[in-house]
Amino acid sequence: SIFGLNAQGKTNLLEALYILSLGRSFRTSRLTDAIRFGASHFFIEAVFSHKEVFHTLSIQVDKKGKKILFDGAPITKLSELVGLFPVILFSIKDIAIIEGSPSERRRFLDLLLAQASDKYTE
């Protein structure tokens, strides 16, 4: 679990993990909006293990676009990114999964399944 006082960066940490996982933010539709005021870019990198093998996943975003690397190799399509570093976000906005229409539940399950199996993204 993550806890701390207000304005300590908890949501920023969660957003960074989400961006690494899916190549997009849950707070804004444009990744450039996540660049700190006055900065030219942001860079996020994670080192993690899967089946006892360590991997590195990084993303750099500037005004020109984004560059994503997995173990040093560029990822050019977001579909290649999905499932490498699985993350599922459940926020108050997702209450529609329970109370909303079947299409909301399908959207959530589509994202979950796409991260579980690359065959689902095809």
Measured CA to CA, the distance from residue 104 to residue 38 in angstroms comes to 37
pTM: 0.78
Tokens of 43: 């860079």
Distances (CA, A) of 88 to 42, 58, 62, 76, 91: 22, 18, 25, 22, 10
Element holding 46 (H helix, E strand): strand 41-50
What's residue 24's pLDDT? 92
Tokens of 24: 């997009």
Of 106 and 43, the structure prediction assigns the larger pLDDT to: 43
Model pLDDT for residues 43-100, shown as the tens digit of each residue: 999 999 988 999 999 999 999 999 999 999 999 998 888 888 888 887 777 787 888 8
What's residue 116's pLDDT? 78
What's residue 50's pLDDT? 86
Residue % of the chain over a pLDDT of 70: 97
Q: Are 57 and 85 in contact (CB under 8 A)?
A: yes
DSSP assignment string, 50-101: ETTEEEEEEEEEETTEEEEEETTEEE-SHHHHTTTS------GGGGHHHHS-
What's residue 49's pLDDT? 93
Q: Which of 1-5, 33-37, 72-76 has the lowest mean pLDDT?
A: 1-5
